[in-house]
Amino acid sequence: QVQLVESGGGLVQPGGSLRLSCAASGSIFSISAMGWYRQAPGKERELVAVITSGGGTNYADSVKGRFTISRDNAKNTVYLEMNSLKPEDSAVYYCNFRTSRFGKNNDYWGQGTQVTVSS
């Protein structure tokens, strides 16, 4: 059974940095994309960043230039480097792995890690 284990969240002051990691345990194949989503209280979950198997990336406008997503295929791990953090970045961050086989997509989710940006 595949599980995604996240780490790296915490409390940081405005302008600070954090690095989130998400590693898959168990056998997982045909990963087509890895991504990070976030959900703040009272808001819907939103896409933060995604990286495809080919290395292409996409970011939410609100984090462009501040966040960087990367992946280590050998380790089935995805990272999110977050710089110049703002209070509005505070949320629970979830990683997502999407697999694509025989025309069918499957989504796996991490348990979430809290990021709080506050002075």
User: How would you write the pLDDT of the chain (119 residues) with one tens digit per residue?
Assistant: 889 999 999 999 999 999 999 999 888 888 899 999 999 999 999 999 999 999 999 999 999 999 999 999 889 999 999 999 999 999 999 999 999 989 899 999 999 999 999 99
Which pLDDT score, from 0 to 100, does residue 77 have? 95
Which pLDDT score, from 0 to 100, does residue 1 have? 83
Which pLDDT score, from 0 to 100, does residue 29 have? 84
Q: What is the 3-state secondary structure (H, E, C) of 46-93?
A: EEEEEEECCCCEEECHHHCCCEEEEEEHHHCEEEEEECCCCHHHCEEE
